């Protein structure tokens, strides 16, 4: 029986000590040393995941390891930054070898896929809590910021948002679906795919960007607020998966617009960039869909609102409030 | 009555948004952007603090804010890195305005003193947990590493370690002291002073260094293990505060050698650097004391051990085990 310390050493520290390609010194010294690529800056994001808020107590630890890193890599994707490394701090009530083995496997399979090295960390006993800080490299002048949208920009979204929220609804018994659809929804919820390649390909093509963690409607508002602009969205243009399309239209819209945890990218680009956006998406192997336009504020002091309409241009009055998603903080 | 979100915005996010001197973009975008000084690399350290492990439930939130940042700045000090910024992720059960006001005041008073900017963060509901990641800038070739000690090096310590452990003993009722001494001990425990100026002044002067978080004896072993060397320590040379000197000699040694939470620096330097070390300490306004020597391993495969002796050179057999300090993980 290995001690807690030996287990953590086996599954994390030992591995981090061999990560010396990028980080001079990692676990084992007071600090890790890390530099962005020449001429670039470090993009840094931190996320804390808590049981009951961000995942269910019975989550598969392999999925938890994946998701904890995925949501952080998604922040790098939304900046157009190339992953370099991450630190992992976690509190665990009573780690078992099975749990640590599965958790670390889920995390490192994703880390390896994106060439993102564990460079440091901290562990302690305590109620389950995961805090990751992720580091990427990006040229400051092409970083995809939230405040860079311009009137007339197209609004794009990657993938087919809504499946993660549909998966939460299945787990909560809010709706019944086939076993195959349930599996797909649950996978979207537990194994989100960070759109790193798309973010990189969009540098110099897109203007503003962010990742959808809290729902397309709410997150798009962050771009509007930071850019001081408004938007018009064609809800009939929203891409939904075939599985989600089998649920009632009302549920589709709520999942696609107000459901969180998708980690698709929402971004704006000048209409002149449409071919370049499509080329970037093809290069990244991700579907992208044009769903609306950035517009000027109706008056200088107006709130940065979203106007919803259908394919015919008829205004819609959507009520998205009260449809809570997983981590409603 | 402000909502939780408004409170966090008032005490943290608002402030971080104005921190744009160093970090292009901070809270409010997907990532903060940060670069080390020209020709330098980023030194990165992360620490997670949990109630009951690292602080008592009834800790003054002002002290908690100070200490959470101080232990991270101490890691930068131990590398000889200049503070740039930090991210703060925390889970709170039920934040009150009083608590957040005091916590943020304790944290930002220290941050301002060391010109270290909050550049990003995350907040969630959950059992109290603080995760800070701190960023400094250092030239890679003069960073104070743990693996750089050499046989014949002097071993130095800053300040007067032991007071923090003495303070824990007072809180636990392990020993009785005067009210003035109790206040001093408690201050050492709750308001550790990160030795940033000393770390900076020791670049190019000291060889190996670390900060004492878990006790001088245990932490010095990290240098020995990483450098594959041994040490001889003169316990009579250990600097103790006048207050600690009023406790029994046995308690003094245990507090100074096995007590954690002091955050003084322990470092090695060539004997030819003695004047330079003293000059660095004077420049930093910190006392430093020479307490021993780095020695070669007795045989190639031997464990990196510490040999204790008194001022006359007589070997001592110290038993430091079983004297637990605050965060025995």
Given an 8 Å threshold on Cβ–Cβ distance, is B35 in contact with A44? no
B34 touches chain A (CB under 8 A): yes
How much is the pLDDT for B326?
44
All residues of chain B having their beta carbon less than 8 Å from the beta carbon of residue A329 are: 123-125
Share the mean pLDDT of chain B: 89
Q: Does B133 touch chain A (CB under 8 A)?
A: yes
DSSP code at position B12? I
- Look at domain A144-316 and name its CATH class: alpha beta
Burial of B103 (0-12, 13-18, 19+ CB in 10 A): buried
- Measure the CA–CA gap between A78 and A45, rounded to whole angstroms: 11
Q: Closest Cα of chain A to B210: distance in Å?
A: 6
Which one of A4, A23, A48 would you mutate to disrupt binding with B, by most B Cβ within 10 Å of its Cβ? Answer: A48
Across the interface, of B33, B91, B143, the residue whose CB is closest to A48 is B91
Asked if A131's CB is within 8 angstroms of B329's CB, the reply is: no
CB distance B44–A34 less than 8 Å?
yes
Q: Which helix (H) or strand (E) holds A164?
A: helix A163-172
Of A28, A49, A53, the CB nearest to B226: A28
CB contact under 8 A, A124 and B50: yes
Whole-number pLDDT of residue A201 = 98
Helix (H, G, I), strand (E, B) or coil at A210: strand
8 Å CB contact between B160 and B286: no
To the nearest whole Å, the CA of B231 is away from the closest chain A CA by: 19
For the cut 80, the answer to whether the pLDDT of residue A93 exceeds it is yes
Q: For residue B4, what pLDDT band results from cuts at 50, 70 and 90?
A: low
Q: Which of residues 134-163 of A touch B (CB under 8 A)?
A: 135-136, 138, 140, 143, 145-147
Position with higher pLDDT, B307 vs B303: B307
User: Measuring CA to CA, which residue among B108, B97, B34, B102 is closest to residue B69?
Assistant: B108
Flag if B29 and A226 touch (Cβ within 8 Å).
yes
Residues A266, A287: Cα–Cα separation, whole Å: 12
Residue A109 touches chain B, beta carbons under 8 Å = no
Task: Give the integer Cα–Cα distance in Å for B231 and B233.
Answer: 6
Element of type H or E holding A50: strand A41-50
A9 CB near a chain B CB, below 8 Å? Answer: no
CA end-to-end span of chain A: 40
- Mean pLDDT, rounded, of chain A: 89
Q: Does B30 touch chain A if contact means CB atoms closer than 8 Å?
A: yes
Question: Please, are residues B17 and B27 in contact by the beta-carbon 8 Å criterion?
Answer: yes
* Stronger pLDDT, A92 or A324, i.e. the higher one: A92
pLDDT in tens, B111-155: 999 999 999 888 888 889 999 999 999 998 999 999 999 999 999
Residue from B2, B20, B5 nearest B123 by CA: B5
Smallest CA–CA distance, residue A210 to chain B, in Å, is 6
Average pLDDT over residues A66-87: 96
Q: pLDDT value at position A317?
A: 85
Q: How far is CA A307 from CA A119, A158, A271, B229, in A?
A: 45, 20, 19, 69
The pLDDT score that the predictor gives to residue A3 is: 58
pLDDT at B19: 55
Average pLDDT over residues B250-278: 95
Q: The tokens of A185 are what?
A: 């929804």
Question: Which among B17, B36, B48 is the top mutation candidate for probing chain A, defined by the most A β-carbons within 10 Å of its own β-carbon?
Answer: B48
The architecture CATH gives domain A4-141:
2-Layer Sandwich (3.30)
Record: contact B129-A29, CB cut-off 8 A: no
A34 close to B (CB below 8 A): yes
Contact A100, A38 (CB under 8 A): no
- Please check the confidence at residue B24 and state whether its pLDDT lies above 80: no
pLDDT at B322 over 90: no
B-contacting residues of A 195-254, CB under 8 Å?
209-211, 222, 226
Residue A329 forms contact with B (CB below 8 Å): yes
| Average pLDDT over every residue of B173-177 | 94
Closest CB from A45, A81, A136 relative to B120: A45
Query: Is A44's CB within 8 Å of B36's CB?
Result: no
Q: Which two tokens mark B253?
A: 């040694």
Q: Which of A13, A17, A30, A55 to mutate to test the interface with B (most CBs of B within 10 A)?
A: A30
What is d(CA B212, CA B257) in angstroms, rounded to the nearest whole number?
Answer: 10
In this model, does residue B158 exceed pLDDT 60?
yes
Contact A118, A19 (CB under 8 A): yes
To the nearest 10°, report the CA torsion of B313, B319, B323, B327. Answer: 70
* Per-residue pLDDT tens over the stretch A287-314: 999 999 999 998 888 888 999 999 999 9
What is the model's pLDDT at position A77?
97
User: Any chain A CB within 8 A of the CB of B42?
Assistant: yes
What angle in degrees, to the nearest 10, is found between the helix axes of B163-172 and B179-190? 110
- The CA distance from A162 to the nearest CA of chain B, in Å, is 21
Residue A93: closest C-alpha in chain B: B50
Work out the average pLDDT over A128-153. Answer: 94
A129, A146, A329: residue with CB nearest B29: A146
Q: How confident is the model at residue A326 (pLDDT cuts 50, 70, 90)?
A: very low
Q: Is the predicted pLDDT of residue A24 greater than 80, yes or no?
A: no
The verdict on B121 touching A (C-beta cutoff 8 Å) is yes
Q: How far apart are CA B122 and CA B130, in angstroms?
A: 10
Q: How far is B314 from chain A (nearest CA, A)?
A: 33
B87 contact residues in A (CB cutoff 8 A): 44, 46, 133
Of A31, A81, A138, the CB nearest to B43: A31
Cα separation, A146 vs A212, whole angstroms: 12
- Residue pair A234/A292 in contact by the 8 Å Cβ criterion: yes
Q: What is the DSSP string of B149-174?
A: --TT-EEEEES-TTHHHHHHHHHHTS
The answer to whether A173 touches A305, Cβ cutoff 8 Å, is no
- Distance to chain B for A180, nearest Cα, Å: 33
Residue whose tokens read 């939460």 = A168
pLDDT of residue B170: 94
Q: Which region among A265-274, B91-100, B164-173 has the lowest average model confidence (pLDDT)?
A: B91-100
Q: Which residue has the tokens 């003169």?
A: B234
**How many CB pairs below 8 A link A and B?**
207
CA torsion A136→A142→A148→A151, rounded to 10°?
-140
DSSP A176-234: ---HHHHHHHHHHHHS----HHHHHHTTTT-SBEEE-SS-HHHHHHHHHHHHT-EEEEE
Query: In whole angstroms, what is the distance from residue A196 CA to residue A200 CA?
Result: 6
| B174: pLDDT strictly greater than 80 | yes
pLDDT at position B211 over 90: yes
B4-141 and B144-316 share one fold: no
**Which residue of chain A comes nearest to B76, CA vs CA?**
A31
Query: Across the interface, do A138 and B30 touch by the CB < 8 Å criterion?
Result: no
The predicted-structure confidence for A221-278, as pLDDT tens digits, reads as follows 999 999 999 999 999 999 999 999 999 999 999 999 998 899 999 999 999 999 999 9
Q: Tell me, what's the pLDDT at A329?
A: 38
Do residue B44 and residue A79 have CB atoms under 8 angstroms apart? no
Collect all residues of chain B within an 8 Å Cβ-Cβ radius of residue A87. Answer: 44, 46, 133
Do A47 and B123 lie within an 8 Å CB cutoff?
Answer: no
* Per-domain boundaries in chain B: 4-141, 144-316
B235-263 confidence digits (pLDDT tens):
999 999 999 999 999 999 999 999 889 99
Q: Which residues pair with B295 in a beta bridge?
A: B230
Per-residue pLDDT tens digits for B53-88: 888 788 899 999 999 999 999 999 999 999 999 999
Mean pLDDT over A310-325 rounds to: 74
The answer, for A79 touching chain B at a CB cutoff of 8 Å, is: yes
Q: Which of A52-66, A125-139, A165-179 has the lowest mean pLDDT?
A: A52-66
| B124 in Cβ contact with A329 (< 8 Å) | yes
Residue B277 has pLDDT above 70, yes or no: yes
- Chain B positions in Cβ-Cβ contact with residue A135 (cut-off 8 Å): 44
Residues 6+ apart with CB under 8 A from B301: none
Its pTM stands at 0.90
ipTM above 0.85, yes or no: yes
What b-and-e string marks burial along A178-205, b requiring 16 or more CB atoms within 10 Å of the CB?
A: eeebbebbbebbbbbbbbbbbbbbbbeb
């Amino acid at each position: 029986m290995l001690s807690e310390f030996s287990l953590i050493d086996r599954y994390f520290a030992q591995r981090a000590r061999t990560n010396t390609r990028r980080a001079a010194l990692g676990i084992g010294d007071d600090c890790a040393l890390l530099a962005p690529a020449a001429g670039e800056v470090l993009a840094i994001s931190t996320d804390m995941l808590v049981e009951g808020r961000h995942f269910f107590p019975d989550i598969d630890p392999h999925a938890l390891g994946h998701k904890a890193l995925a949501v952080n890599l998604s922040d790098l994707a939304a900046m157009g930054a190339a992953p370099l490394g991450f630190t992992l701090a976690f509190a665990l009530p009573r780690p078992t070898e099975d749990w640590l083995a599965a958790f670390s496997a889920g995390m490192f399979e994703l880390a390896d896929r994106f060439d993102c090295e564990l460079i440091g960390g901290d562990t302690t006993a305590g109620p389950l809590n995961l805090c990751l800080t992720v580091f990427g490299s990006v040229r400051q002048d092409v970083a995809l910021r939230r405040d860079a949208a311009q009137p007339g920009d197209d609004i794009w979204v990657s993938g087919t948002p809504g499946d993660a929220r549909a998966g939460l609804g299945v787990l909560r018994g809010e709706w019944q679906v086939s076993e195959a659809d349930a599996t797909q929804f649950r996978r979207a919820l537990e194994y989100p795919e960070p759109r790193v390649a798309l973010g990189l390909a969009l540098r110099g093509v897109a203007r503003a960007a962010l990742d959808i963690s809290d729902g397309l409607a709410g997150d798009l508002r962050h771009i509007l607020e930071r850019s001081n602009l408004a938007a018009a969205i064609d809800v009939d243009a929203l891409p939904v998966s075939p599985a989600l399309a089998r649920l009632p239209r009302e549920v589709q819209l709520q999942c696609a617009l107000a459901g969180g945890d998708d980690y698709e990218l929402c971004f704006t680009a000048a209409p002149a960039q449409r071919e370049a956006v499509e080329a970037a998406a093809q290069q990244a192997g991700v579907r992208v869909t044009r769903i609306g336009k950035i517009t000027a504020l109706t008056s200088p002091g107006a709130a940065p609102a979203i106007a919803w309409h259908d394919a015919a241009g008829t205004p819609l009055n959507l009520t998205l409030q009260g449809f809570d998603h997983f981590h409603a903080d």
